């Protein structure tokens, strides 16, 4: 497991309304009450049994702490290919290697405000991945995890959307994985 803590703060890629890069900002400065549009990604990981991995965000997370969400999310660094960023975050957050990776929702975009006023404002391509690894989560990122039946997760998200991250709720409506 390689869950080293970066000593250099990550930067996010700032975007214009059309999704074109226009700059960069420290990740910590890019999330607040007036969050600029920036590039991110989400990933849903499936195991050999067809179960999807859901995680509960660590209680120390700035936005949506303790909320159940998709397998993992992140931000590519400036000039970092999205696929490289997805694989990097899978290792960092969950201690897993991805066996396969597919872009499922290339144009997913959302804006949501957490109870503390933190705003997410992202163009966030969504990936589906397969793994044969069992997670060994980084406790700074993940409080707990479960492998669940995708259709059951889809029903739970539809029945109680308030119990999940807003991006998972929106993605579940668009992904065939949860039907």
User: Which strands sit side by side in the sheet containing 38-39, from one edge to the other?
Assistant: 21-26, 11-15, 38-39, 119-123, 109-113
Task: Let me know if 73 is a catalytic residue.
Answer: yes
Question: What distance in Å separates the CA atoms of residue 134 and residue 75, rounded to the nearest whole number?
Answer: 23
> Which tokens belong to 118?
């933190």
Name the catalytic one among 11, 43, 73, 124: 73
SS3 7: coil
Task: Let me know if 122 is a catalytic residue.
Answer: yes
Q: What ranges in the chain are assigned the alpha helix state H?
A: 82-89, 150-159, 166-174
Name the catalytic one among 11, 120, 122, 141: 122
> Which tokens belong to 104?
């499922």
Q: What is the CA radius of gyration of the chain?
A: 15
> Which tokens belong to 66?
């303790």
Altogether, the residues listed in the chain come to a count of: 179
Catalytic residue set: 73, 122
């Amino acid at each position: 497991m390689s869950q080293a803590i970066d000593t250099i703060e990550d930067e996010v890629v700032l975007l214009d309304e059309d999704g074109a890069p226009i700059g960069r900002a420290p990740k910590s400065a890019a999330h607040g009450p007036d969050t600029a549009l920036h590039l991110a990604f989400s990933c849903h990981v499936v195991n050999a049994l067809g179960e999807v991995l859901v995680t509960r965000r660590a209680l120390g997370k700035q936005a949506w702490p303790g909320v159940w969400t998709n397998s993992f999310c992140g931000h590519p660094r400036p000039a970092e290919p999205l696929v490289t960023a997805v694989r990097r975050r899978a290792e960092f957050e969950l201690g897993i290697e991805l066996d396969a990776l597919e872009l499922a929702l290339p144009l997913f975009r959302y804006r949501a405000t957490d109870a503390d006023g933190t705003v997410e404002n992202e163009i966030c391509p969504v990936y589906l991945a397969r793994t044969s690894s069992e997670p060994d989560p980084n406790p700074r990122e993940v409080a707990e995890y479960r492998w669940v039946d995708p259709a059951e997760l889809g029903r739970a998200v539809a029945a109680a959307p308030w119990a999940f991250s807003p991006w998972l709720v929106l993605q579940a409506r668009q992904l065939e994985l949860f039907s």
